[in-house]
Amino acid sequence: MKRTIPLLIAVLFVASCDDEQAKPGVGPTAPVAAPMAAQASATAADISGGSTICRVYATERDVAKTELDAAPADTVQQHRVKMLDALVKETCN
C-alpha cells in the first residue's frame, strides 16, 4: 500500500502533463469597431448640453442618418431622422 500511493501520484502527474495540445503562436486580436458607430459616438460626445439624454438622442440621430445614407428612399427613416433632429435641437440647445 505504501508503494501504490506514490506510484499512483506519479502516474497521474505524467498523464496530466500531456493533456494540452500545442497552440499556434498567434495572439488574441481585438474586435474591430464599426467606423460609423465610432463616428456617431464621437459626434454625440460633442453635444454642448452634456446631459446623458442629449448624448443618447444625438447618438440615435447619427445612427439613423447612417442608416438613411444606406437607403435614401426609405421614407420612414427620413421621418425618424427629422424627428430626432428636432428632438436634439429642442432638448439640447
Q: Is residue 83 part of a domain?
A: yes
Report how many domains make up the chain: 1
- Of residues 50 and 87, more confidence is placed in 87
Give the tens place of pLDDT for each residue, 43-55: 544 555 467 888 8
Distance, in Å, from the CA atom of 17 to the CA atom of 34, rounded to the nearest integer, reads 42
Q: Domain range spanning residue 65?
A: 35-92
Distance, in Å, from the CA atom of 64 to the CA atom of 77, rounded to the nearest integer, reads 7
Q: Is residue 4 part of a domain?
A: no
Whole-model pTM: value is 0.46
Q: Is residue 48 part of a domain?
A: yes
